[in-house]
Structure 1
Amino acid sequence: MTRYDLKALPTWAAAICVAGLFATAASGATETPAPPATPVAPKTMKIGDVLTGQLNAMRSRDAKGKRTNVYQLVSEPRRLPAPAGLCNLETGPETFEIVVANDAQATQLKKLVGKEVALKVAEVTCAEQAGQMSEALVTKWSVVTKPN
Structure 2
Amino acid sequence: MTKLFATRLALVATMMLLASPAISAQQDDGAPPPSKPGKPINAGEVLSGELNALKVRDVKNAGKRVATYQITSEPRRLPPPNGLCNLETGPETFQLVPSGDAQAAQLKTFVGKEISVKVDEVACASDPGQMSEAVITKWSLIKKQ
Is the CA contact (8 Å cut-off) linking 2:37 and 2:88 kept in structure 1?
Answer: no
Structure having the larger proportion of residues in helix:
2
State the partner residue of 2:46. 50
Query: How much does 1:37 deviate?
Result: 1.6
State the partner residue of 1:105. 103
Query: How much does 1:129 deviate?
Result: 1.2
Amino acid at match of 1:127: A
State the partner residue of 2:130. 132
Q: What SS does structure 2 have at the residue aligned with 1:104?
A: helix
1:81-96 correspondence runs (5 A): 81-96=79-94
How many residues were matched structurally? 122
1:28-47 correspondence runs (5 A): 32=26, 33-47=29-43
Give, in whole Å, the separation in 2 of the partners of 1:36 and 1:111. 38
State the partner residue of 1:119. 117
Residue among 50, 55, 71 paired with 1:59: 55
Amino acid at match of 1:122: D
Query: How much does 1:40 deviate?
Result: 2.0
In structure 2, list runs of 5 or more residues that go unmatched: 1-14
State the partner residue of 2:9. none
Query: How much does 1:52 deviate?
Result: 0.3
Percent identity, aligned pairs only, is 55
TM-score between the two structures when normalised by the length of structure 2: 0.77
Matched, 1:75 2:57: no
Give, in whole Å, the separation in 1 of the partners of 2:140 and 2:101. 14
TM-score between the two structures when normalised by the length of structure 1: 0.75
Query: How much does 1:36 deviate?
Result: 4.0
Give, in whole Å, the separation in 2 of the partners of 1:84 and 1:60. 24
**Aligned CA-pair RMSD:** 2.1
Q: What SS does structure 2 have at the residue aligned with 1:145?
A: coil
Amino acid at match of 1:138: I
